[in-house]
Chains A and B, each alone.
Chain A
Amino acid sequence: MKLSLFLFLIGIYGFILNKKNLILMIISIELMLLAVTLIILFNSLNFDDLIGQIFALYIIAIAGAESAIGLAILVAFYRLRGSIAIQA
């Protein structure tokens, strides 16, 4: 539980500190999804319930879709602007 809370906190910090870099923002979103899935899995172990693990499988599928679409947006952004730095 501590592990997943710290991972979520590191994901938030990465999302805020790397505001100009789009790749690190998507990586931070992946870290936060991993932390949320770990919380769900540990709670499903604590309560001896199988629904949490099913939900973790759904979250894995959603994370794959999210990273694919995010990287496609990144490639389109790079083609349009010529750089990946977001103008503040």
Chain B
Amino acid sequence: MNIIRIILDLLSIGAIISAILTITSKNPVNSVIGLISVFVHSSTYLIILSLNFIGLSYLIIYVGAISILFLFVVMMMNIKYIELTEVAQEYTQNLPLSLIIGSLFILESFSSILIPFNNFIAYVEIWNNSLKETNTSFNIIDNKNLSMVDSYKIEDFIHIESLGHTLYTFGLLWFILGSCILLLAMVGPIALCHTPKYNLK
């Protein structure tokens, strides 16, 4: 599938260009719009790679909640423009540190990751062909490790169903822990931004 490969390359180039625009723009509204563009590109990338549910939840959670929260805070705070242009002048001061850390990261990542980069498209094509054969469903019959429940052997699960089975069966404790973290994320901003008024009549 040559067309899919070209589309994936275009999506990744678009994501990288909009990420660069995100970190280099002076106005924070433009950088938040660049962040939205990065999220849309990467979620489309995931949907094309047949990770449908995770791509859609990226689109809903990141674009619909987090980026809009950023946009709301940026537009609420009414920042002076002079401050931001002063900030942008400090690029050359921080450039050597960023070059050192970036080169260290490049060295580390390219010397320690064992998966070859060139074969990734081949893996993707194998994955897509296997999905075509099984009619876009995860086939758990082949998985020998999951033989503890017999009803696994009868049914085929689509993507979201298999995610839900694994999430509610094997990762239940982590699910409850994540809900506690989300509760903390609700209570924390209220406690931080609440200014009590003592002189109520």
Contacts and interface: CB of A to CB of B under 8 A. Distances in A.
B67 to A, nearest CB: 9
Interface string A38-62: 1001110110101101101110111
Contact of A30 (B66, B98, B120, B178): B66
Tell me the interface secondary structure of chain B in the complex: helix
Interface residues of B, number: 72
Contacts of A84: 77, 79, 83
B13 to A, nearest CB: 9
A71 B102 contact: no
Interface string B77-103: 101100110110011001101100110
Tell me the interface secondary structure of chain A in the complex: helix
Contacts, number: 185
Q: Which 9 A-B pairs have the closest CB atoms?
A: A14-B23, A72-B189, A65-B185, A3-B12, A16-B98, A72-B192, A10-B19, A20-B87, A61-B178
Interface of B: 12, 15-16, 19-20, 22-23, 28, 31-32, 35, 38-39, 42, 45-46, 49, 51, 54, 57-58, 61-62, 65-66, 69-70, 73-74, 76-77, 79-80, 83-84, 86-87, 90-91, 94-95, 97-98, 101-102, 105-106, 109, 113, 115, 117, 120, 123-124, 127, 138, 162-163, 166-167, 171, 174, 178, 181-182, 184-186, 188-189, 192-193
Given A17-B23, A17-B90, 6 more contacts: A13-B23, A16-B101, A27-B70, A30-B66, A41-B54, A58-B178
